[in-house]
Copies of this chain bind each other. A is one copy, B any other.
Amino acid sequence: MIVIMKAQAQMRDISAVISRIEDAGYKVHLSEGDERTIVGVIGDGRPLDRDQLERMPGVERCVPVLKPFKLASRDFKPNDTTFPIGNHMVGNKEIVLMAGPCSVESRSQILETAHAVKEAGAHILRGGAFKPRSSPYAFQGLGEEGLKYLAEAREQTGLPIVTEVMEPAMVPLVCEYADILQIGARNIQNYALLHAVGESQHPVLLKRGMSSLMEEWLMSAEYILSHGNTRIMLCERGIRTFEKYTRNTFDINAIPVIKQLSHLPIIADPSHATGKWEYVAAAAKASVAAGADGLIIEVHPRPEEALSDGVQSLKPKRFAQLVVEMKAIAEAVNRKIS
């Protein structure tokens, strides 16, 4: 931490800041410029609260030197995190493809889709049984019934299942059925939920919140990591901006930034990141080229009948064609879609 004093700071203000820092067990490094004094904090001590320091008389602002996340940081763990899901390793040279409908709507719908996406080349089946919807009057998912259909789809196709869990009390139930726990964008700072999945041993797909800073997103991963679960995939799904032609703005920069800051695998969700099926293929191909470790794509056999997100879902045939196109790009960037 560096404390920048105001131009008008008094000697006693500076002394008070120094005492505060030293009392917390740190050493102080003073730099007196012509216009203002800067106080550097060195060594180890009790956590220093930035807010407290900024509230002291004469302090203009504090500049943190270290990043606030530790376990999630590449400084802490320089090598890429990899772990197996089904027969695939996530975080490796291979790019993993997750596909399926937004919601599980019926037994036949999820079984039909599961077979279709498997045939098209997907490695993991997605499908929501518990659906966070902005309206209390909208379809909220089939609940446990949906989980059972997902399990049956896995049995028939061999595809592992990723599905959302929305509240701490549901974590044990969802763990019974799912291979990967999805934390949705709306729950990125639902700390009780992060705590609960952190204590499970299931891999987690952690979606970025719709207006999360990348730093906050990594802090949410830090919550999970600090409770003992290290198998996290970060999922970029677009952020909220002023633009109106798309549902979200796909922050593709997040792929190289997260790769640099963290060892965790990064997954792209081009369906939510665009919100319109016509743009999904371009965004998906861009994700592969930018270095994503996987993709999660909404596929529905009859999008015009989908109970949610039909407008951004691909039909199986279009998805199959996209897989072919992504394979070509994967090779061009020295990755592989098997």
Chain A interfacial positions (CB closer than 8 Å to B): 2, 4, 7, 29, 31-36, 38, 40, 42-44, 47, 49, 51-57, 63, 65-66, 68, 75, 132-138, 166-169, 186-187, 189-193, 210-211, 213-216, 219-220, 222-223, 226-227, 239-246, 249-253, 255-257, 260-261, 273-274, 277-279, 281-283, 285-291, 303-313, 325, 328-329, 331-333
A306 proximity list for chain B (CB < 8 A): 49, 51-52, 55
Assembly CA distance A192 to B196 (angstroms): 15
Assembly CA distance A250 to B244 (angstroms): 16
Known contacts A191-B166, A287-B286: does B34 contact A244 (CB below 8 Å)?
no
Assembly CA distance A169 to B190 (angstroms): 13
A274 proximity list for chain B (CB < 8 A): 253, 256
A136 proximity list for chain B (CB < 8 A): 191, 219, 222-223, 226-227
Report how many copies the assembly holds: 4
CB <8 Å contact, A282 and B278: no
- The listed residue (B42, B239, B253, B289) touching A329 by CB distance below 8 A is B289
What are 12 A-B pairs with beta-carbon distances under 8 A?
A: A35-B66, A49-B307, A51-B312, A136-B222, A137-B226, A241-B249, A256-B282, A257-B279, A260-B279, A285-B290, A286-B286, A289-B289
Nearest-neighbour CB distance to chain B for A273, whole angstroms, equals 7
Nearest-neighbour CB distance to chain B for A170, whole angstroms, equals 8
Assembly CA distance A43 to B51 (angstroms): 29
Closest to A4 in B: B65
**With A55-B311, A55-B313 already in contact, 6 other A-B pairs whose C-beta atoms are closer than 8 Å:** A38-B40, A51-B308, A136-B227, A166-B191, A187-B190, A286-B290
A168 proximity list for chain B (CB < 8 A): 167-169
Closest to A291 in B: B282
Nearest-neighbour CB distance to chain B for A56, whole angstroms, equals 5
Nearest-neighbour CB distance to chain B for A61, whole angstroms, equals 9
A49 proximity list for chain B (CB < 8 A): 306-308, 310
Nearest-neighbour CB distance to chain B for A262, whole angstroms, equals 11
